[in-house]
Structure 1
Amino acid sequence: MTASPSGPPSTTDAVAEADAGMPWRALRRHRPFLLLCGEQAASSVGRQITALALALLAVTRLHAGPFGASALLALTYLPGAVLSPFAGVLADRARLRPLTVTLTALQVVVVGSVPLAGAFGRLSLPHLYAVAALSGALTWTLSVALQAALPRVVPPGQLLAGNSALTGARTAGQIGGPALGGVLVGLVGASPALLAGSAAYAVEAVLLFALPAALNRPADTGGGRGPRFAGLCEGFAVVRAEPVLRRQVLAGAGFNLGSGAADALFVLYAGRELKLAPWQLGCVYATFSVATVAGVVLAGRFATTIGLYRATRICALAAAFSIFLVPAASLGLAFPALLAYQLVFGSAATVWAISMTTTQQLIAPPGLQGRVAGFAQAALLTTVPVGALSGGALAAWLGNVPVLTGAAATTVLAAGSFWLPRRRSGRTTPQAPPGT
């Protein structure tokens, strides 16, 4: 299905279609959806172990400084910013099950190359940067493909519940992944610990291979012979025509600019400047995981009560203001301040992300789910490496606290754009599907 000259289906139509959703309890017996949940948990464990081990290898073994650590983070996002629109065309026109299995199998090889190089004494920073970039490209391409797959696995009325459950599965990996990674790094070292990351990706590939054969058919059955550039333009046209999607993308991109800078500096700032003990840093990250669980639990009820768009606006602003707690931690009570930051940010950002993704899936036409997701993801990811690299460079010149304060102010301005007056377009914003 391609976009018509008059634009994509209205959000009112999408919400009306969502009324046909099956009860939430049925998802627990829905095998394809349960496979996706398992895949999300395994993928999250693999990513957490990989991110922790790569960062520790760069900082402790290869002596990377603030800019080097920021560059490692930036390289995990940059490929997604460049490739996501093309990944969207691929997700709509390719057979999704073989595509997702291939992407995950390649992750096993890419991540496994690090312990192999370590065993032969050939590990270097350029190798870590290459692994971060390749792994990021595979991760974000798979992300687009799975966003396009979910509306083909569950009905529209269960997208909010489905996105909440998938976020919960990822959170389970975020809770167990760092702990497992930390134990493995302590026992065998950072490089061999990446073998566990490869094993998690292998489990993910097996779960994706078990998805139903229905995903072997392309979603866009009529557009596969069209030019690639035309396919890219179709995804952009949907976002441009829908005011809600357009504002979500612009606000999210601005938010990621500031949060990318804050994330790149967080471990360095907490460890060297605030002098948090390792157990305290572990508790800070664990608090984020607990807050994410709270966000998953609250997302459905909150969005159903006040509407998806209102939930997005409120939670975006709450998440943005919470970042001011990070530079404020330098004034005293650093540990409680960072705990409070992770608690507010984790819960608010989770509800925001679930609401945004569900809104996007409800609005996008079936044959364009991948292209809309790819364009939106590219716009959101482009500013992350810019923020990370800028934050690292400015922190080396100005110091961590001024840069973190500026990063928080940037996120507030971006989230505040949700509250600017909107021109009336005759279309209603999507509400949470009933029965979630």
Structure 2
Amino acid sequence: MPSLFAFPGDFRRMWIGQTISAFGDKVSRMAVPTVALLELDGTAWDVGVLAALRFLPFVLIGSVAGVWVDRFSRRGTMIWADVGRLVAMGSIPVAYLFGVLTLGQLFVVAGVVGVLTVFFEVAAQSYLPVLAGPDGIVAGNERLQTSRAVAEVGGAAAAGGLMQFLGTALAILADALSFLASLVSLLLMRHREPPAVKPEKPRSALVEAREGLAVLLSDIRLRNLMLASTTVNLGVATANTLVLVFAYDHGKLSPGAVGLAFAIGTVGLILGAVSSRSIARRLTLGRTLAASILVTGLGFLLLPVGGPGAAPAMLIVSQFLIGFADSVFNIHVLSLVQRVTPPEMMGRVNGTALSVVFGTGTLGGLVAGFVGTVFGTVPGLVVSAGIICCGAVFVLVDPLRTIRDGAGRPERGNVIKDKARRVVR
């Protein structure tokens, strides 16, 4: 029986590497803010700044990364990004062992890792359609999302255990080693990309970046997905920054208890990933995305219900709902973008979209720091949930409302180019 994927062996290698990397990323996303709060006497504002520094590069260089990925090797870009992230994240436990770890170093590492992650994510999202092929895009995203969900569950449990027994700073070593695993998987790939087609006349990076934005704005499907994702990510980034503050300050939970709650609760990620296609078959794409957005908002609203005594249970329920909805939303958004975007524009469209969408995490982190410091954690969670729910408006209009399975094709040649030129002008 022929494989669903164009390059099944290389897709499998990428899949394994990304699963391990996601495992380590979950550890650091819990351990780094915990180090700031418990080891270095950080505040809610410091945690907000750390979150913002991870997202700020998407705002500043997302489009530039897209131009780079369309000009050069996507696999090569991913390799060098993993090397840099390995060195940067590994510096935290080393500094801790020598007694010189500071909040300033955490800020620098968060920024460096953020920059390299921009290049890696743009390249990875642009490379997946090549390895999966047109017929394997949705299945490829489902498998990646499912494996990442499993890593989220295992990573949360491991994070709690590592922080409890090794200490919060040394636990971050797991993330550094996960970048090494991802690097090895990329080096073992056999597929080699053909050289990018060079234009007859040299063009500036700014012109090429504007073309990526023009494609996003000229296709109503891509435009509405970008608006919805931007709104949702702003709310989620704000809320996620406050979740750990809520758990430690209001719930009085230990790092081990927080890790266990995340591990149990994020089983929803797995269930959402494996059921995403069946849900979309029963509903239109717009209704599926809208439902996932509303469930995400509800998940954050449930956190303060019942007071401090109910914090462990509410954290589990909240993470389950958020994880389930997040899987469904991400699989269908990524698959549709990858299917309707012309291959030669994939890097620029992904880079611009990531710049706009995930760049809102910078604002979300700062909003969380401000609201958490001035008004308190619970009001911040309520505001975040309201922002998230507003994103449903953009996916309940045509043509997204009537698409049933996330399928779609790019508009042909001159059609999309003409539209893009009109937008640029």
Give TM-score scaled by structure 2 length.
Answer: 0.88
- 2:231 matched to 1:254? yes
* Corresponding residue for residue 19 of structure 2: 41
- Cα separation, 1, equivalents of 2:260 and 2:176: 26
- 2:328 matched to 1:351? yes
* Corresponding residue for residue 298 of structure 2: 321
* Corresponding residue for residue 109 of structure 2: 131
- 2:60 matched to 1:82? yes
Q: Which amino acid aligns with 2:334?
A: T
Q: Percent identity?
A: 28
- 2:205 matched to 1:228? yes
Q: State which of 124, 138, 154 in structure 2 corresponds to 1:176.
A: 154
Q: Which amino acid aligns with 1:115?
A: P
Q: Which amino acid aligns with 2:270?
A: V
- Cα separation, 1, equivalents of 2:361 and 2:205: 26
- 2:279 matched to 1:302? yes
- Cα separation, 2, equivalents of 1:28 and 1:290: 30
- Aligned pairs for 1:174-253 (under 5 A) are 174-215=152-193, 217-222=194-199, 225-253=202-230
* Corresponding residue for residue 30 of structure 1: 8
- TM-superposed CA distance for 1:27, in Å, is 4.6
> Against the structure 1 CA distance between its residues 77 and 86, is the aligned structure 2 distance closer, same or farther, given a 3 Å change threshold?
same
- Cα separation, 1, equivalents of 2:319 and 2:99: 38
- TM-superposed CA distance for 1:331, in Å, is 8.4
CA contact (8 A) 2:78 2:120 kept: yes
CA contact (8 A) 2:252 2:308 kept: no
- Aligned pairs for 1:54-93 (under 5 A) are 54-93=32-71
> Against the structure 1 CA distance between its residues 32 and 430, is the aligned structure 2 distance closer, same or farther, given a 3 Å change threshold?
farther
CA contact (8 A) 1:320 1:415 kept: no
- TM-superposed CA distance for 1:75, in Å, is 0.9
* Corresponding residue for residue 243 of structure 2: 266
* Corresponding residue for residue 343 of structure 2: 366
- Cα separation, 2, equivalents of 1:186 and 1:347: 28
* Corresponding residue for residue 5 of structure 1: none
Deviates more, 1:45-54 or 1:120-129: 45-54
* Corresponding residue for residue 143 of structure 1: 121
Structure 1 residue runs of 5 or longer lacking an equivalent are: 1-21
Cα shift readout 1:275-311 (whole Å, capped 9, x = no counterpart): 3455542333113431000011011222244344442
Structure 2 residue runs of 5 or longer lacking an equivalent are: 409-425
* Corresponding residue for residue 16 of structure 1: none
CA contact (8 A) 2:59 2:359 kept: yes
- Cα separation, 2, equivalents of 1:306 and 1:40: 30
CA contact (8 A) 1:235 1:368 kept: yes
> Against the structure 1 CA distance between its residues 225 and 209, is the aligned structure 2 distance closer, same or farther, given a 3 Å change threshold?
farther
- Cα separation, 2, equivalents of 1:161 and 1:279: 35
* Corresponding residue for residue 378 of structure 2: 401
- Cα separation, 1, equivalents of 2:176 and 2:317: 34
Question: 3-state DSSP class of the match of 2:27?
Answer: helix
- Cα separation, 2, equivalents of 1:170 and 1:35: 14
* Corresponding residue for residue 52 of structure 1: 30
- TM-superposed CA distance for 1:188, in Å, is 3.0
Q: CA RMSD in A?
A: 2.6
> Against the structure 1 CA distance between its residues 219 and 294, is the aligned structure 2 distance closer, same or farther, given a 3 Å change threshold?
farther
- 2:81 matched to 1:98? no
- TM-superposed CA distance for 1:232, in Å, is 0.4
CA contact (8 A) 2:154 2:263 kept: no
CA contact (8 A) 2:54 2:114 kept: yes
> Against the structure 1 CA distance between its residues 144 and 290, is the aligned structure 2 distance closer, same or farther, given a 3 Å change threshold?
same
Deviates more, 1:397-406 or 1:181-190: 181-190
Q: Which amino acid aligns with 1:295?
A: G
CA contact (8 A) 2:304 2:378 kept: yes
- Cα separation, 2, equivalents of 1:118 and 1:382: 30
Q: Which amino acid aligns with 2:326?
A: A
Q: State which of 282, 286, 292 in structure 1 corresponds to 2:259.
A: 282
Cα shift readout 1:158-204 (whole Å, capped 9, x = no counterpart): 21111010111222322222333333333333333333322211111
Q: Which amino acid aligns with 2:189?
A: L
Q: Which amino acid aligns with 1:289?
A: T
- 2:141 matched to 1:166? no
CA contact (8 A) 1:264 1:388 kept: yes
Deviates more, 1:233-242 or 1:222-231: 222-231
Q: Which amino acid aligns with 2:235?
A: G
- TM-superposed CA distance for 1:68, in Å, is 0.7
Deviates more, 1:180-189 or 1:255-264: 180-189
- 2:362 matched to 1:385? yes
Cα shift readout 1:121-151 (whole Å, capped 9, x = no counterpart): 2211111100011111112220110000011
* Corresponding residue for residue 12 of structure 1: none
CA contact (8 A) 1:96 1:218 kept: no
> Against the structure 1 CA distance between its residues 223 and 86, is the aligned structure 2 distance closer, same or farther, given a 3 Å change threshold?
farther
